[in-house]
Structure 1
Amino acid sequence: MRHAHAVEQVRAAEAALMARLPEGTLMQRAAAGLAAVCVRLLPRVYGSRVLVLAGSGDNGGDALYAGARLARRGASVRVVLLTPERAHADGLAELLAAGGRVTADPAEFERADLVLDGIVGIGGRGGLRPAAAPYAGMRRSGPVVAVDVPSGVDADTGEVDGVALRADVTVCFGTYKPGLLIDPGASYAGVLHLVGIGLELPPAPVTALQEQDVAGLLPRPAAESDKYRRGVVGVAAGSARYPGAAVLAVAGALRGGAGAVRYAGTAAEEVVRRFPEVLVTEGTPGGAGRVQAWVVGPGGGEGAGAALAEALASDVPVLVDADGLTELARLGPDALRDRTAPTVLTPHAGEAARLLAGALGGPPPPADAAAAARLATARRLAAAYRATVLLKGSTTVVADPGGGVRVNATGTPWLATAGSGDVLSGLTGSLLAAGLAPLDAASVGAYLHGMAGRDAAERRTPITAMEVAEHVRF
């Protein structure tokens, strides 16, 4: 699992460690790790052209010391001092002593075999200042390596408020930063390399599941399992206008590890024709029989409100999507106030904006604003509705009411296709019914859905939502 810590946590851990170490030791550790990554990126170090973009403070110091190490190995190192009066004096002196040179020629950026971005550190806010902004638009002949965070990216949130310098590789010190895992910042970070520097950190507020974590959470039948012990997921979806949403949500549910799927709604005939193993009724959730979780809302149309009310009145986890979210935004958080079982909400950015308006009053914020600040959006929704929120997007953010956050970056832009979200809802609801906790079910569902999209797209593009369901694998 990847663990990402907030800037405040990193600063506190660094201060505690520096108090026990000789002065400068921590920066030398960081510079050594940074230089080692650069060595692997260069075809050869001797004779290579390296440009250091050095801002003020420790971030610039890390870059200068790493540049000195490369210069001692024969690289031709040049440094642009973005704030000469505040350059890290000892780092600059070491670089010059190793043969590096100060330059003011911006063309060095385009000629360099490797650029070290040490302009702004993890405490930076806002976009690049005017002196540094032109570098973001320049051509490059070699990789740009960001020192801890790409300059212009908010390390805590991933927000990009202005111009930022896109990196090919980001070298993280001690821990990942949330902004490196969450778009739009993640799209600026490139490949991430973690360099250990000995920090002692508290539990991470943001995590990301890796393949082995997902494998450990997946529900597996035991020797004594039967279909009911494995869990039954109920799906209340589809309408006369959108029967396909029901079929797709059920397709996802069948792939999620529950032992059986019950369907309740007007698309019963279409569902059982495609999936004869599904238990169907044309009624509503209240009369469908016992389940361990409900999925409500995809393509629900005018009947979504009644289905949502009946599902929320149950004592099992409920996942709300699509038309169910529209109804919930109208009702506001009070609709969930008396629930004792968990609730999972799976909005896209536009639905998230409407849910926020339902919770806070006033007009909904622009969907683009909700997406750009997706970490804050997911956390605000989780707190307001006391629910686990799976905010869909290029980076899926899953936030629970207790403040925990998981992010997921599996997937492909080809998943932006009609019905893909219906498959995700059914898949995640099935994991809930199989016994996974809401945070686990939502983050595992997002991971599997993203991997299925990748696998489907590798076979052919464009892909359909049903192809995504068919490619879900445990």
Structure 2
Amino acid sequence: MRHAHTVEQVRAAEAALMARLPEGALMQRAAAGLAAVCAGLLPRVYGSRVLVLAGSGDNGGDALYAAARLARRGARAEALLLDPAKAHAEGLAALLAAGGRTTADPDAFGRADLVLDGIVGIGGRGPLRPAAAPFAAMARRGRLVAVDVPSGVDPDTGEVAGPALRADVTVCFGTHKPGLLIDPGARYAGVVHLVDLGLDLPPAPVRALQHADVAALLPVPGAESDKYRRGVVGVAAGSARYPGAAVLAVAGALHGGAGAVRYTGHAAAEVVRRHPETLVTEDGPARAGRVQAWVVGPGGGEDAERTLREALDTGAPVLADADALTELARLGPAALAGRDAPVLLTPHAGEAARLLAGVGEDADADAVAARRLRAARLLAARYGATVLLKGSTTVVADPDGRARVNSTGTGWLGTAGSGDVLSGLAGSLLATGLAPLDAASAAAYLHGLAGRHAAGPGAPITALDLAAALHHAWGSLTG
């Protein structure tokens, strides 16, 4: 599991550690780790051109000290000081003593074999200053290594307020920063290397699950299991206009670990034709029989409000998607008030914007995508529900502020019906007894893996291709 901490948490942990270490020792740890990663990226260190874009403060100091280490190994190291009067004096002195030099020539950026982005560290907020902004658009031939976080990326949120440097590699110190894991910032980070500094940190507010973490969450039937002990997931989806949504949600549910799928809605004939193992009723959630979790909304059409209300009244966990989210945005958080069983909302950016409007927050889809961590947390807090915000980075947020981000996926998942499969999958995991945060996190991870597998080396996929690949994705985690 990758743990990500806020700037405030990192600063506090660094201060506590520096109080116990000799002066400058922590920066030398960071510089040593940074230099080691840089050396591994160069075909050879001796004779390589290394340029430091050095801003003021400790971020520039880390980069200057690392460049000094490379210079001692024969690199031709230069530092372009964006604010010479505020450059880190000790780091600059170390670089000059190692044979490096300063330059005022911005064309050195394009000539370097490796550029160290030490402009703005984790204390930076907002757009880059005019002296730094041009480097975001300059052509270069060498690799760019960001020091702790790419300059122009908000370390706590991943927001990018203007031009930002796009790194091939980011070397982060002590812990991951949320902005390295969440788009749009994650797209600027490249490959992320973590250098352990020995910080004593509190529990991480943002985490990214990995294979072993998800495998540990997935339900495993015992010798005495039957379809009811494994959990029954109810799917209330589809309409005369959108019967395919029901077929796809059921397809996802059948691959989500529950022992049975119970379908109710107007697409029963299509569902049974495609998935004959499905239990079918036309009476709605209120009279559907034993169900441990409900999935409502995909392709729900004109019945969406009634279906949502009936599902909420059952007292079982409820996953609301698509048309159910539209109704919830209209009804507001009061529709969920007083429920003992959890609710999981699975909006894309446009649906999230409508839900935010339902609580008086002005936002559009672009604003949600640009500030997805904030949007997911705000929705979770205001609606009292777990939120799985879909997108290039899927963010799962609990009402208590905990958040997880998903590291799997492919652009080929942007296809009609993909979200319906995800809803069925996550609802099925809810029915097995997983908490909403775990069910949503595991579903997003499996969904992304299945998308990668279905797309292979890079080819268009359909939602049914995706559903069929869930079996392989599950097995790749548990086999």
What corresponds to 1:263 in structure 2?
263
1:260 is matched by which residue type in structure 2? A
What corresponds to 1:94 in structure 2?
94
Of 145-154 and 458-467, more deviation after overlay is shown by 458-467
Cα distance between partner residues in 2 of 1:468 and 1:176 = 31
Q: Secondary structure at the match of 2:359?
A: helix
Cα distance between partner residues in 2 of 1:243 and 1:338 = 33
What corresponds to 1:15 in structure 2?
15
What corresponds to 2:51 in structure 1?
51
Deviations 1:313-338 (A, max 9, x none): 11111000000000000000000002
What corresponds to 2:443 in structure 1?
445
Cα distance between partner residues in 1 of 2:212 and 2:285 = 36
Distance apart, 1:433 and its partner CA: 0.3
2:459 is matched by which residue type in structure 1? T
Question: Contact 1:266 / 1:283 at 8 angstroms: preserved in 2?
Answer: no
Distance apart, 1:402 and its partner CA: 1.1
Question: Contact 1:166 / 1:189 at 8 angstroms: preserved in 2?
Answer: yes
Pairing 1:218–2:236 present: no
Question: Contact 2:285 / 2:314 at 8 angstroms: preserved in 1?
Answer: no
What corresponds to 1:384 in structure 2?
382
Which stretches of structure 1, 4 residues or longer, exceed 3 Å deviation after superposition? Answer: none
**TM-score normalised by length of structure 1:** 0.99
The structure-2 alpha-carbon separation of the partners of 1:155 and 1:453, relative to structure 1 and needing over 3 Å to count, comes to same
Cα distance between partner residues in 2 of 1:234 and 1:282 = 12
What corresponds to 2:422 in structure 1?
424
Distance apart, 1:459 and its partner CA: 6.0
What corresponds to 2:6 in structure 1?
6
Deviations 1:50-77 (A, max 9, x none): 0000000000000000000000000000
Please show how residues 204-353 of structure 1 align to structure 2 within 5 Å.
204-353=204-353
Out of 443, 456, 459, which is 1:458 matched to? 456
Question: Contact 2:57 / 2:88 at 8 angstroms: preserved in 1?
Answer: yes
Please show how residues 44-83 of structure 1 align to structure 2 within 5 Å.
44-83=44-83
Q: Secondary structure at the match of 2:171?
A: strand
What corresponds to 1:403 in structure 2?
401
Question: Contact 1:256 / 1:427 at 8 angstroms: preserved in 2?
Answer: yes
Out of 347, 366, 381, which is 1:368 matched to? 366
Q: Secondary structure at the match of 2:225?
A: coil
Pairing 1:358–2:382 present: no
Cα distance between partner residues in 2 of 1:137 and 1:460 = 28
1:82 is matched by which residue type in structure 2? L
Question: Contact 1:174 / 1:199 at 8 angstroms: preserved in 2?
Answer: yes
Cα distance between partner residues in 2 of 1:280 and 1:432 = 20
1:323 is matched by which residue type in structure 2? D
Of 280-289 and 304-313, more deviation after overlay is shown by 280-289
Considering only aligned residues, what root-mean-square deviation do their CA atoms show, in Å? Answer: 0.8
Cα distance between partner residues in 2 of 1:284 and 1:316 = 14
Cα distance between partner residues in 1 of 2:42 and 2:281 = 63
The structure-2 alpha-carbon separation of the partners of 1:61 and 1:111, relative to structure 1 and needing over 3 Å to count, comes to same
Question: Contact 1:61 / 1:92 at 8 angstroms: preserved in 2?
Answer: yes
What corresponds to 1:413 in structure 2?
411
Cα distance between partner residues in 1 of 2:145 and 2:398 = 34
2:238 is matched by which residue type in structure 1? G
Cα distance between partner residues in 2 of 1:20 and 1:426 = 52
1:204 is matched by which residue type in structure 2? A
1:12 is matched by which residue type in structure 2? A
Deviations 1:267-302 (A, max 9, x none): 000000000000011221111111000000000000
Cα distance between partner residues in 1 of 2:322 and 2:391 = 15
Distance apart, 1:128 and its partner CA: 1.4
The structure-2 alpha-carbon separation of the partners of 1:278 and 1:459, relative to structure 1 and needing over 3 Å to count, comes to farther
Question: Contact 1:333 / 1:385 at 8 angstroms: preserved in 2?
Answer: yes
Please show how residues 102-181 of structure 1 align to structure 2 within 5 Å.
102-181=102-181
Distance apart, 1:460 and its partner CA: 5.9
Q: Secondary structure at the match of 1:389?
A: strand
Deviations 1:345-392 (A, max 9, x none): 00001100110111226xx52110011000000000000000000000
Cα distance between partner residues in 2 of 1:461 and 1:100 = 48
Unaligned regions of 5+ residues in structure 1, if any? Answer: none
**TM-score normalised by length of structure 2:** 0.98
What corresponds to 2:40 in structure 1?
40
Distance apart, 1:25 and its partner CA: 0.1
Cα distance between partner residues in 1 of 2:219 and 2:38 = 42
Of 124-133 and 175-184, more deviation after overlay is shown by 124-133
Question: Contact 2:56 / 2:86 at 8 angstroms: preserved in 1?
Answer: yes
Distance apart, 1:129 and its partner CA: 1.0
Distance apart, 1:139 and its partner CA: 1.3
What corresponds to 2:477 in structure 1?
none
